[in-house]
Chain A
Amino acid sequence: MHVGNDGNGSQDFELNLAPIIDCFTVLITYLLVSASFISLGILDVGVSAVKDGGDGPVSAEVPMNVVLQMEAHGKMQIKATGGAPAVNISVTVPANGEKGNWNMMSAELRKLKERLPQLKEISVYAASDVQYQELVKAIEKIKGEIPKVYLANGDL
């Protein structure tokens, strides 16, 4: 650091940039290594368990239950049962090649929602060999029509 006096009482000051560049280099290297450039999105789902109702009082009204069954090779089935008045709807969504036909599935869910305005949640069942990316795709499309999605944890 060089400090000079020009004779008027003020001081010339020369900033030594080399140590500052050293600090910056280390900081930037650390931040580059620790930075995460992946942009993560989140899908909120619930876990639904299928279990016995116990010995409590039995209500005459069967609650509405809407289920999306994902089968192997992209085929899907949408089933709606129960509710008041009771419904029993079953729609098959054929596969699009080996993958799910998402546009048709969304259209069918939309029609179902128009018919059942009280529909707010849906359970998703999948076959054992359905891959996670297909499940995520299905959940993403369902959320466009029905806000609450549950992943089933039992057998149908």
Chain B
Amino acid sequence: MAFLDKGIMRKKRRLGEDMSLQITSMADIFMILLVFLLKNYAVSITDYSPTEQTRLPVGEGKASLKDVVKLEISPEAIMVDQKVVVKLGTPQSGSSDANNFAPYEALSKELTASRKLLPKESTDANLLVLADEKVPYSTLRRVLGSAAVAGFVDLQLAVIQSE
């Protein structure tokens, strides 16, 4: 049985030697990953990702994305550039009344203020809209009214590209 023990010890030693970490290979893998992620990394003033609650509809949008004011309509709230402006479903918002088509005042004020910060206030009328797929047209119509009051008449509706 002694020769068996010697065999096991030799194997353990060999295993110990073979188990050293191949850092060179890992550096290669990390380099490739880094290059790929850097290529994807885009630096932009506007963050185009919707929040967790918003599920964008699927579509085939071919227009180019511009760096503009972002308006997000989730099932719970309406946000301008990540700031909650109107909370939907509250009595103040009047969203339970499907026949209420009046623009949201708070939204109009916020959009007007955002418009003043644009470099070309008089000519830039684009608004990026990220709306949840289940938002009813009654809500959207009021948002359109608010946007029109603030001078935004060209909308960019964001959709998730269908493959």
Contacts and interface: CB of A to CB of B under 8 A. Distances in A.
Chains A and B come from one and the same complex? yes
Interface of A: 17-18, 20-21, 24-25, 27-28, 31-32, 34-36, 38-47, 49, 70, 126-133, 135-137, 139-140, 151, 153, 155
A31 to B, nearest CB: 4
B40 A47 contact: no
5 contacts: A20-B27, A40-B61, A47-B147, A133-B57, A140-B59
B46 to A, nearest CB: 11
Contact residues of B: prevailing secondary structure: mixed
B23 A17 contact: yes
Given A21-B27, A47-B147, A129 B98 contact: yes
A45 B26 contact: no
A26 to B, nearest CB: 11
B111 interface: no
Given A130-B137, A131-B133, A132-B133, A139 B33 contact: no
A31 B38 contact: yes
A41 B133 contact: no
Interface string B91-115: 0000000110100000000000000
Contacts of B59: 41, 43, 136-137, 140
Name, among B59, B138, B160, the residue most crowded by chain A CB atoms within 10 Å (CB to CB). B59
B33 A153 contact: no
Given A24-B34, A140-B159, A153-B145, 19 more contacts: A32-B37, A38-B49, A40-B48, A41-B59, A42-B61, A42-B128, A42-B157, A42-B159, A44-B63, A47-B153, A47-B154, A128-B99, A128-B136, A131-B135, A133-B133, A137-B59, A140-B60, A151-B140, A155-B101
A136 B56 CA distance: 10
A136 B132 CA distance: 11
A132 B60 contact: no
Interface of B: 23-24, 26-27, 30-31, 33-34, 37-38, 40-41, 48-49, 56-65, 73, 98-99, 101, 128, 131-138, 140-141, 144-145, 147-148, 152-161
A45 B27 CA distance: 48
